[in-house]
Amino acid sequence: KAGVTQTPRYLIKTRGQQVTLSCSPISGHRSVSWYQQTPGQGLQFLFEYFSETQRNKGNFPGRFSGRQFSNSRSEMNVSTLELGDSALYLCASSPTSGAGTQYFGPGTRLLVL
């Protein structure tokens, strides 16, 4: 099976812009979670979708949003970018609805100038 794919792999944006990142889970996986990884804060949970419904949201401002489509693909959007949003954004998919193993994609590295 193909793994989790994320596009784009690299992005450079300027403050105030918005960005949309995409994630395609492993075939058959209906759960998609998003994480932000920075050197200072480590891996932090953003949100999780299962069957097009957001079930959990981490402690991030409303500028961070996401959605999931009927084919389980997911997108996350960050509006009004700030310098502190520079990070590696990781998507993970899981074959179960909960408490299961998560498999990570390669990530999207976002640099905000």
Partner 1 sequence: QKEVEQNSGPLSVPEGAIASLNCTYSDRGSQSFFWYRQYSGKSPELIMSIYSNGDKEDGRFTAQLNKASQYVSLLIRDSQPSDSATYLCAVNPDNFNKFYFGSGTKLNVKP
Nearer to partner 1, 75 or 104 (CB): 104
Which residue type sits at 96?
Answer: T
Nearer to partner 1, 5 or 20 (CB): 5
- Cα 67 to chain center, whole Å? 10
Stretch that binds partner 1, among 18-26, 29-37, 60-68, 72-80 (CB under 8 A): 29-37
* β-sheet bridge partners, residue 77: 20, 65
By CB under 8 A, what part of segment 47-106 binds partner 1? 48, 50, 55-56, 58, 88, 90, 92, 94, 96-106
Nearest-approach distance from CB 66 to partner 1, in angstroms: 13
CA angle 7, 1, 34 (to 5 degrees): 40
Alpha carbons 82 and 14: distance in angstroms, whole number: 8
Token digits of residue 77: 């959007």
Token digits of residue 29: 């996986």
The site that binds partner 1 (CB under 8 A) totals a number of residues, namely 28
Contacting positions for partner 1 (CB under 8 A): 31, 33, 35, 42-45, 48, 50, 55-56, 58, 88, 90, 92, 94, 96-107
